[in-house]
Amino acid sequence: MRTARRPRRLRTATAALAVTGVALAVLTSACSTADAVCSGGEYPVLYVGSTGSACVPDGQEPPKGYARYPEGKVPEHVDDKWWTYWNTHTLDADGNIIEVSD
């Protein structure tokens, strides 16, 4: 019994599509290996006087007792440079960066 063979052009297109799919999967998974600090449409805020944080919907001001992170020092992903930094630092009531005591 003879099996039907696909035309060469179809085999090539199928192989190219498979390779593209694998490459896309690798690239998108590499970008999402670190968990985002906040979901889309939100930004992180720091609890003043503590290392606590929260996420606030874009366009809204931080709740009482919270402040925006200083420009250029906003954590984007869990365990990134600024996430780690803000585990040992915070803002005081005047907005100054201070080190948190153990």
Model confidence over 61-75: pLDDT tens digits?
Answer: 999 999 999 999 999
- pLDDT value of position 102: 72
- Model's pTM, two decimal places? 0.65
The predicted model gives 9-14 an average pLDDT of: 57
Which residue shows structure tokens 């670190």?
A: 34
Give the DSSP letter of residue 99. E
36 forms beta bridges with 77
Confidence of residue 12 (pLDDT cuts 50, 70, 90): low
